[in-house]
Amino acid sequence: QSLPIFSSEEISKHNSKDNGIWVSYKDGVYDITDFVDLHPGGKKLTCEKIMLASGGPIDAFWNMYAVHKTDEVLEILEQYKIGSLSPEDQKPIDLNDPFSKDPFRLPVFRINSKKPFNAEPPIELLTDSYITPNELFYVRNHLPVPEIDPDSHRISVDLGDSSIQLSLEDLKTKFKPVTITTTIQCAGNRRQEMSDFKTKGLSWGPCAIGTARWTGARVRDILLSAGFDPDDKTIKHVHFNGFDDDITNTSYGASIPKQKAMSLDGDVIIAYKMNGVDIPRDHGYPVRAIVPGYVGARNVKWLRQITVGSDESTSHWQMNDYKAFSPSTTFETANYKKAPSIQEMPVISAISVPKPGSIIDPEDGMVEVKGYAWSGGGRDIMRVDVSADGGNTWQEASLTKDDPDADDSAHCWAWTLWTAEVPVAAGKVEIICKAIDSANNCQPEWIGPIWNLRGFLTNAWHRVNVTVEN
């Protein structure tokens, strides 16, 4: 007897023990309601991890947690099969909708904008691993995701009086490949914490940040091969231009200082791999710029052109966006021409465990706190302090850093993950963290002095409110 066919819409309605916990895997549909309490990971894993996939596909989760992809686990899953996923599940493509061909994303993302798609992963998954899985890397799109043929795509390197065209194969074979591990963070990360004041921009939480290993060719090598003279004092900026969208008639562009692009250890690359595989479409396939230590906005995706010039890029996102202002500046008085563009990022940290609003049962009066810390410009994290009594006393966290031999950089471009055991009292508790980088820059205590009308560079002490049981 054939099993029934279910649509993704019907599956999405079964996302709790009350109405059943359903998931799909490949073309199968499974009711795992009776299994979740039997999972070897225990009750905590069930609540925090398994339920994130309820009502949707688990394929991407199993790609991240590959321990599941064994014959034994697949046999267990098959015991709970109740049907097949509808082949007509996908909506027909609307050719008049420029976003109709956007790629599939995990349903667990916290969506800040659907068109263009902008979303961040759940905080409880963000620091599960030092390297952020591609499927969980935050997505920041300003335009529709293009479909680009990698075989015909060319990167134009224009120097004014000369230019060259590079194919994807040229990038891979004509230049020494390098791998750079770097954290990329949106300038609006943690903007939500400025919600008590009016700001303009997407309401990002603390997860518009991620760390990946990027493989590609150095921009320095590419420019030199095109005949660029690094001693030319008239050239002060290197520009990156993204794919031209025929429907919206727009392309994304940005620029960085020449000294960053041409520095022997600036580590600016044109990447074609993300964590060892082709870059996903959401993250710039087939090639993108990677500018370690700089704001995410300068890491231009779907790259089609590199140019040089005496002035910054004239792109909207360079001239009229991604600039920070004084707390006293209003929308009426903001002078975008005068304000400098955001490039290097300040020191920041955030708590990933426990989640805001958690009810905690402490062990011997202690609670485990986890999170991330990062600073721009290649500055390392020297210390993370954690407090649960309003900052009267602080516990120094244990720091986890990447393998220094994992890539081709001598700089610390990537975040530091940290863990601390903190004494807590029963009742309502606010847990706080702050980071200090290798230049002894420390996060400000509160939002007020750094508030700006665009809500950029929110890096005050991160605060999470929880309830501690007796």
Question: Which pLDDT score is estimated for 90?
Answer: 44
Alpha carbon distance 20, 31 (integer Å): 7
68 is catalytic: yes
Question: Which pLDDT score is estimated for 402?
Answer: 87
Element (DSSP H or E) covering residue 419: strand 416-423
pLDDT band at residue 225 using 50, 70 and 90 as cut-offs: very high
Sign for the CA dihedral angle at 131, 135, 136, 138 comes to: positive
Catalytic one of 14, 140, 220, 454:
140
Alpha carbon distance 128, 126 (integer Å): 6
Sorted by sequence, the CB contacts under 8 Å of residue 169 that are 6+ apart come out as none
Residue with tokens 């309502």: 428
Catalytic one of 68, 110, 142, 316:
68
Question: Which pLDDT score is estimated for 63?
Answer: 65
User: SS3 of 396, please?
Assistant: strand
Catalytic one of 252, 294, 322, 372:
322
Sign for the CA dihedral angle at 98, 102, 105, 107 comes to: positive
Question: Which pLDDT score is estimated for 407?
Answer: 87
186 is catalytic: yes
pTM of the prediction? 0.84
The domains spanning 5-85 and 348-468 adopt the same CATH topology: no
Q: Where are the domains of the chain?
A: 5-85, 348-468
DSSP 87: T
Residue 47, pLDDT above cutoff 70: no
322 is catalytic: yes
39 is catalytic: yes
**Residue 109 amino acid letter:** F
140 is catalytic: yes
Residue 64, pLDDT above cutoff 70: no
Higher pLDDT, 124 or 470: 124
Residue 246, pLDDT above cutoff 70: no
DSSP 73: H
What does the angle CA 131 – CA 132 – CA 134 come to, to the nearest 5 degrees?
125
DSSP string spanning 131-173? SPPGGGS-EE-SSPPP---TTT-EEEEE-SS-EEEEEHHHHHH
pLDDT band at residue 421 using 50, 70 and 90 as cut-offs: very high
User: SS3 of 251, please?
Assistant: coil
Give the right CATH number for 5-85 from 3.10.120.10, 1.10.10.10, 3.90.1170.40, 3.40.630.30.
3.10.120.10
CATH number of 348-468: 2.60.40.650
Catalytic one of 25, 138, 186, 272:
186
pLDDT (mean) for 400-409: 86
